[in-house]
A = this chain, B = another copy of it.
């Protein structure tokens, strides 16, 4: 059996409450007593039962980060940034991977509902809001959304300005002389994807380029999808001369397919990818990418979450961060 507060109290010959106060560094315990208690606790390798503690205190100092895709290196970076910030504030982070399954999202949500964590940050996931919003807890619980749009501005969010990012990518490709720029994004119903498409369209228009809806492709977010979409594209009617691929893994697959097909980047197809991860600079040629402000996404989301928890802020705060376009060889036209 685990050793408990009560045991320590008995050994130190004081009341449980005193032990509790001593251990939690709360006032109302004499110096002598406190030292004695701490000593005994240490000697006996006492570990408070966090469940009981959480139950009684109604807080756990733990935060959940619930992410839709663990494969995406960018998301990992966001998590690391959150962890770093959380550590400073004395919070522990637990990660939950939903694999884009709504089912799992709900189940992890129960961590929040049942007070096992004091707050939660959602990273990505397109199953936006619907059930979240409906659920009553939404008002009472501390939730921050990262890169995830809800229908209503209901939740505090930290967002990457995809529209702006894509706009710049198109602009850049336009200047390089590319005419038929394809956009490879996700499900068009998704709000985030709509954003991307809107930036894309606006940029095309501003650059005086023709818009062709057939050059907008929706795929899943994995590598295979990127591979497959290229095969589909070269079979199609309109062959692009440049790609903007807006998810990390999809980009890898796309590049892979282009090379497997015997084509050259950027000579046959220019490519602008998404997310400046470990891969992009190793790929041949080095990839031009929209670099997500991962560090800041993490920092802001944690900052907001803590404020929500401490009730120093009300909901609906929204922060938008702009991705940076990092230009490498994959998008530089040889005719330039």
Contact = CB atoms under 8 A, between A and B. Distances in A.
A283 interface: yes
Interface in A248-295: 249, 252, 255-256, 259, 278-279, 281-284
B99 A47 contact: no
A96 interface: yes
A71 interface: yes
Interface in A289-313: none
A101 to B, nearest CB: 9
A161 interface: no
A141 to B, nearest CB: 10
A153 interface: no
Interface string A209-246: 00000000000000100000000000000000000000
Given A97-B80, A99-B80, A116 B51 contact: yes
B278 A259 contact: no
Contacts of A97: 79-80, 83, 93, 95
A54 interface: yes
Contact of A283 (B50, B113, B140, B282): B282
Nearest to A1: B140
Best-buried of A53, A87, A249, A279 by chain B (most CB within 10 Å)? A279
A252 B277 CA distance: 11
15 contacts: A2-B137, A53-B114, A70-B76, A80-B99, A93-B96, A94-B94, A94-B95, A94-B111, A95-B96, A95-B97, A252-B279, A252-B282, A279-B282, A283-B283, A284-B284
